[in-house]
Amino acid sequence: MFKFQDFDGKILALRAEMTAPVARIISTKLSSMPTPIRLFYVCKVFRYGQSYVEREREFWQAGVELVGNNSSEADGEILALLVSSLRKLGLKEVRLDIGHASLMKDLLKATALDEEKRDTLRSLLANRDQARLEKFMEQNNFNSKLRETLLQLTLCRRLDEVSSLSLDSPKYGKAGEHLRKLLKIKDVLADYGIENLVFFDFSLTRKIEYYTGMVFEVSVPNFGLPLGGGGRYDHLMEKFGKLKLPAIGFALEIEKCLQALTAQCFQFPEKTQTKILVASKSRKTAIEAVDIIRDAGVAALLNVTKNAKNKTIEYAKLAGMDYAVFVESSLEKPVTVYESRSNVSKRAMLKTFLQQIGGKTE
């Protein structure tokens, strides 16, 4: 995080993500809103990483939060919204991987290993290094049930496969409960028609600490980094006040989404806003013309130089103007329209010309 000191010595920080600020706003300013509350944001966030890779510091994030409800329907709505947002952007083969923030934690506790060995186990699971995982479990005398359970959890992808697992031993803490809660979403996803896009990933825990339940990450093939993700955070709100509200949300990294679109050979639509440069010997008529063009919903610039006609045309071209329009002393007379793209000029009444290029005229 970027941190610095205020003049009175207080520590200030640039926001590294938006969920905590949103939680603060809800508990301090929106506490009387009926729940569930649904909010969205499109904001810049700032992160400092010492890492070699991914050196950017400033990111655009677009995200949503659904606050005040912890049903599977709420979870499903957020996942479905994530998928449809990316599809609407034009991304293909969107895939969601879901895990649970506490599932691994509880199972690691069940191993009765010391902190250091738990870290080793966590990293073996996170790295999908099955050979060393099996060796590690053997060396540390895991019983066959636990060994089997961990291996199956790392291998399961389909939610259906996961539902055949049982973690209901008292030794596993709340792991069984977590898994059952997570799997409840299956039917909701089916109703949204996106169950085939959603996969289970035991090793997915996301690095943010406030997550309490389901966590997820979204990706597309052909682009090597996740596009965004999120999760359920049922105890964050109460840190900012008396309000206790469960919540779930996601954030998309806009720059990564753009890169992914490029990787998928997406044709970005060209900007369609037409731009016109207006020039006239009569300043008053030129100003009048600019107003009429803008009222028609077309962008207009007034030529403020006293350049000759050919220079003005050249400027219009270089500045990306679609047309240069030369106005006489009165708009009762036709104007000369010069089109940058075709190098062709013609004479027309201003309003007729605006109608031809799709401007709104009354």
Partner 1 sequence: MNRKIRIAIPNKGRLKEPSVKMLQNIGIEILEEERTYVCKTSDPRFEVIFARAFDVPVYIHYGAVDLGVTGYDLILEREAEVYDLLDLGFGKCQLVVAVPENSAIDSVNDIPSVARVATEFTNISRKYFENIGKQVEILGVRGTAELAPAIGLAQIIVDISSSGETLRKNNLKVIATILDSTCRLACNKIAYRTFEKEIAELLAKIKQDG
Contacting residues toward partner 1, per CB under 8 A:
50-53, 93, 95, 97, 127-132, 157, 199, 219-226
Would residue 299 be called left, alpha or beta, if left means φ above 0 and alpha means ψ between -120 and 50 degrees? Answer: beta
Q: Which residues pair with 299 in a beta bridge?
A: 275
Angle between helices 72-89 and 185-192 (to 10 degrees): 40
Burial (CB count within 10 angstroms: exposed 0-12, middle 13-18, buried 19+), residue 65:
buried
Pick between residue 251 and residue 316 the one whose CB is nearest to partner 1: 251
Please give the sequence-ordered ranges of beta strands (E in DSSP) within 207-272, or none if there are none. 214-219, 228-232, 247-253
Q: Which is nearer to partner 1, 225 or 349 (CB)?
A: 225
Please report how close the Cβ of residue 50 comes to partner 1 at its closest, in angstroms.
8
Structure tokens of 265? 């050979």
**CA angle (19 as vertex; 103, 179 as ends), nearest 5:** 15
**Least distance from partner 1 to the Cβ atom of residue 137, Å:** 16
Tokens of 205: 């825990």
Cβ 126 to partner 1 shortest distance, Å: 8
Shortest Cβ 161–partner 1 spacing (Å) = 13
Cα gap 312→317, rounded to integer Å: 9
30 vs 89, beta carbon nearer partner 1: 89
**CA 180 to CA 176: how far, in whole Å?**
6
Q: Which residues 6+ apart lie within 8 Å of 100 measured at CB? A: 178, 179, 181, 182, 205, 213, 214, 215
CB 263 within 8 A of CB 223: yes
Residue 340 CB, nearest approach to partner 1 (Å): 39
Please say which residue, 85 or 154, places its beta carbon nearer to partner 1: 154
**Distance in angstroms (rounded) separating the CA atoms of residues 252 and 72:** 21
Residue nearer to partner 1 on the CB measure, 157 or 171:
157
Choose between 266 and 315: whose C-beta lies nearer to partner 1. Answer: 266
Task: Identify which of residues 175 and 218 has a Cβ nearer to partner 1 in the complex.
Answer: 218
Three-class SS of residue 280?
Answer: strand
Q: How far is the CB of 128 from partner 1 (least distance, A)?
A: 5
Tokens of 344: 């062709």
Tokens 């090793």 belong to 203
CB of 228 to partner 1, least distance (A): 13
Q: Render 106-132 in DSSP notation, one character per residue.
A: HHHHHTT--HHHHHHHHHHHHHT-HHH
* Minimum distance, C-beta of residue 168 to partner 1, in the bound complex (Å): 28
The β-bridge partners of 216 are 98, 230
Closer of 221 and 358 to partner 1 (Cβ): 221
CB of 178 to partner 1, least distance (A): 22
Rounded distance between C-alpha atoms, residue 24 and residue 36, angstroms: 16
Which of 139, 342 has the CB closer to partner 1? 139
71 vs 152, beta carbon nearer partner 1: 152
Min separation Cβ 98 and partner 1, Å: 12
For residue 252, the SS3 value is: strand
Distance (Å, rounded) from C-alpha 110 to C-alpha 276?
71
